[in-house]
Amino acid sequence: MGQALCQCSIGGAAASEANTKLGAAERASRAKKIEKFMKKLQTGVSAVKLSCTHPPSRVVLLLRGSKLHLEGAVEGDAEAVPRDISGFTVRRGIDPDPEAGHLAGTQALRENMMPQDAMKAFVLEFDPQRIRQQTPVEEEAPEQVIPLSFSTETEEEAEAIVEGFKLLSTSIRR
């Protein structure tokens, strides 16, 4: 009987070269997606900001330099100040709440949305440890993670925004 050949042993250098090309293609695709999302953020991404202390407000998320601005937020909403994007993460409205692990989203999402609409929501969390590293001495960095809760019209919009912010977050950390 003959020996069975493993497909992974066939091709050697050619397979390695194909993997390298695939990696380069993936990186190029990722870079294009990040660039496209950055352009979108510079012109504005529409969402509804949800809060426990203010009524929902339609905002436009705008990137100006390294700061994320929420134009159209309720006046006096302390959460809506420009935030440095160097220290953020993003998650879906259906992801576990770090403050209440047995629940999803955030308190603001749970108070303002029906559970069946959670796929239309996302949360941007600004981490004080990463922000502190980027904050000039004369400015005070927050002491705890600041979650900002948003909803969109459709699940697809939320998914596109989450994916864009994930790509952006990963590229900032590199």
CATH topology of domain 10-173: PH-domain like (2.30.29)
Q: What is the pLDDT of residues 59-106, one digit of tens each?
A: 999 999 989 999 999 988 888 999 988 889 999 999 999 988 799 999
Average pLDDT, rounded, for the chain: 83
- What is the pTM assigned to this prediction? 0.78
The tokens of 157 are what?
């919009």
Task: Locate the domains of the chain by residue range.
Answer: 10-173
pLDDT of residue 101: 76
Q: What is the pLDDT along the chain (174 residues), one digit of tens a residue?
A: 444 433 444 445 554 555 566 688 888 888 999 999 999 999 999 999 999 999 999 999 999 998 999 999 998 888 899 998 888 999 999 999 998 879 999 999 999 999 999 999 999 998 776 544 444 444 554 567 889 999 999 999 999 999 999 999 888 766
pLDDT of residue 130: 57
pLDDT of residue 22: 60
pLDDT of residue 66: 87
E-assigned strands of the chain?
A: 45-50, 57-64, 67-71, 83-84, 88-92, 96-97, 100-104, 121-126, 146-151
Q: What is the Cα Rg of the chain in Å?
A: 21
Q: Residues near 68 by Cβ (< 8 Å), separated by ≥ 6?
A: 41, 61, 62, 82, 83, 84, 85, 88, 124
Q: Residues near 2 by Cβ (< 8 Å), separated by ≥ 6?
A: none
